[in-house]
């Protein structure tokens, strides 16, 4: 730096200090010092964390608001990737909670903000975002399976009304007689005076129907 440049810099500092009469010349000149070559003063750039969660938990689902109804309702927010309602394995009835996955994480965030504590058919929905690290790997296993509940009444009816052989019939009668004997012993042990009806060991064939002429 030459002498002329030094003089020019001193004059600029004096002009700047004259604008602040109450302040010290040292502090005034320090305000105009360039911050070059000092890496410690540079602030680290913080990038906003991108939300990648697309799976939502939906609780307190009302009766009748099932897969088709949920898909038709939540489709207004955005494209749905997968949807599942927890159901009982035996009866197929809803457990009143489920999961839904959107293709866009921003849509999932909007749905969680709008639908949480939303009153639907006298039920207050509980909608929460599930972080990707908390999503179970088997959460969507068989999500598109249409469960048909087993009709156990029909199965028992067929077993009861099936045609049995003579041996099967004898085993059934012996089983009934053993149960009746145990029941009689319990009644006697309780001191109850009761005469149990006798159980016929063999079933007599039904009488044939006689057709009479109308005349």
Quick check: 98 and 58 in contact, CB under 8 A?
A: yes
Q: How many residues does the chain have?
A: 215
* CATH at residue 60: 3.30.70.330
Q: Would you list the DSSP string of 49-104?
A: PPP---EEEEESPPTT--HHHHHHHHTTTS-EEEEEEEE-TTT--EEEEEEEEESS
Q: Does residue 72 lie in a domain region?
A: yes
Residue 169 lies in a domain: yes
Task: Look at the chain and report how many structural domains it folds into.
Answer: 2
Tell me if 204 is assigned to some domain.
no
Q: Which domain holds residue 129?
A: 55-134
Given 93, 119, 134, which residue is the final one in a domain?
134
pTM beyond 0.75: no
Q: pLDDT tens, position by position, for the chain (215 residues)?
A: 566 666 676 666 666 555 555 545 444 444 555 555 555 555 556 555 577 899 999 999 999 999 999 999 999 999 999 999 998 887 888 899 999 999 999 999 999 999 999 999 999 999 999 999 999 988 988 777 677 777 888 888 998 898 989 999 899 889 999 999 999 999 999 999 888 888 765 555 545 555 555 55
């Amino acid at each position: 730096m030459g002498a002329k440049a030094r003089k020019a810099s001193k004059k600029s500092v004096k002009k700047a200090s004259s604008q602040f009469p109450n302040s010290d010349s040292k502090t005034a000149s320090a305000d105009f010092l360039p911050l070059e070559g000092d890496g410690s003063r540079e602030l680290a750039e913080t990038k906003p964390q991108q939300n990648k969660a697309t799976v939502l938990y939906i609780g307190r689902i009302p009766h009748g608001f099932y897969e088709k109804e949920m898909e038709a309702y939540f489709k207004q927010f955005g494209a749905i990737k997968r949807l599942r309602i927890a159901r009982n394995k035996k009866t197929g009835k809803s457990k009143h909670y489920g999961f839904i996955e959107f293709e866009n994480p921003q849509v999932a965030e909007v749905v969680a903000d709008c639908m949480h504590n939303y009153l639907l058919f006298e039920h207050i929905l509980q909608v929460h975002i599930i972080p990707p690290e908390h999503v179970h790997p088997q959460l969507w296993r068989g999500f598109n399976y249409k469960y048909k509940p087993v009709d156990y009444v029909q199965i028992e009816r067929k077993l009861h009304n099936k045609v049995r052989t003579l041996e099967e019939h004898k085993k059934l009668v012996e089983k009934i007689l053993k149960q009746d004997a145990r029941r009689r012993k319990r009644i006697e042990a309780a001191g109850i005076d009761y005469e149990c009806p006798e159980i016929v060991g063999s079933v007599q064939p039904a009488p044939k129907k006689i057709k009479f002429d109308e005349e």
